[in-house]
């Protein structure tokens, strides 16, 4: 087995990799890894949970794993039993780019390669932009925090 290449990359090497197509076999992708959140209220409720943690009103370290699983399940967010749950605050003045696990990224990219597959945003975005949303500004912000945290930061 060869050791992974750990030498620093040049900007040109990074650019070359970015210019290439993805190298993956979609026959082995697991679409079950893609979380399906049932509705806007689930996103909003989860966003409120995250914001309460961010503001220091709720300490996730004091919530046992089984209790957190029940809370998330109430929002329609089922966490597989073999997954751990971790909430981590972003340190001040630190740029963090959290990326999905390889299997999750592969499942999402392979979904787009299926016939008729598209990328659907929750309808609340179009309603907000179109001025027809029933959500007030705080509810919409909670919804966005929940959506982005669940879909991009897990």
User: 62: phi > 0 → left, psi -120 to 50 → alpha, else beta; which?
Assistant: alpha
- Confidence band, pLDDT 50/70/90 cuts, at residue 42: confident
Task: Read off the pLDDT of residues 102-149 as tens digits, 9 standing for 90 and up.
Answer: 888 888 888 888 777 777 777 888 888 899 988 899 998 898 888 878
Record the pTM: 0.72
Secondary structure letter of residue 56 according to DSSP: T
**Of 130, 136, 132, 151, nearest to 43 (Cα)?**
151
Tokens of 101: 């696990």
Residue pair 71/62 in contact (Cβ under 8 Å)? The answer is no
- Confidence band, pLDDT 50/70/90 cuts, at residue 52: very high
Secondary structure letter of residue 3 according to DSSP: P
**Of 54, 37, 61, 56, nearest to 143 (Cα)?**
37
- Could you count the other beta carbons within 10 Å of the beta carbon of residue 45? 20
Domain residue extents for the chain = 35-86+100-152
Alpha carbon 87 to chain centroid distance? 13
Query: Contacts by 124-133 with C-beta closer than 8 Å and gap 24+?
Result: 124/40, 124/43
Is the model's pLDDT at 154 over the cut of 70?
Answer: no
Residue pair 85/69 in contact (Cβ under 8 Å)? The answer is yes
């Amino acid at each position: 087995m060869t050791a992974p290449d750990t030498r620093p990359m040049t900007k040109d090497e990074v650019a070359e990799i970015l210019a290439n197509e993805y190298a993956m076999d979609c026959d082995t992708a697991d679409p079950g890894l893609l979380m399906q959140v049932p509705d806007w209220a689930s996103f909003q409720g989860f966003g409120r949970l995250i914001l309460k943690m961010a503001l220091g009103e709720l300490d996730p370290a004091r919530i046992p794993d089984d209790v957190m699983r029940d809370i998330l399940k109430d929002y329609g967010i089922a966490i597989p039993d073999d997954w751990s749950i971790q909430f981590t605050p972003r340190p001040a003045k630190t740029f963090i780019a959290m990326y999905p696990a390889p299997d999750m990224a592969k499942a999402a990219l392979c979904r787009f390669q299926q016939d008729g597959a598209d990328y659907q945003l929750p309808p609340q975005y179009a309603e907000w932009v179109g001025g027809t949303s029933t959500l007030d500004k705080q509810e919409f912000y909670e919804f966005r925090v929940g959506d982005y945290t669940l879909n991009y930061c897990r």
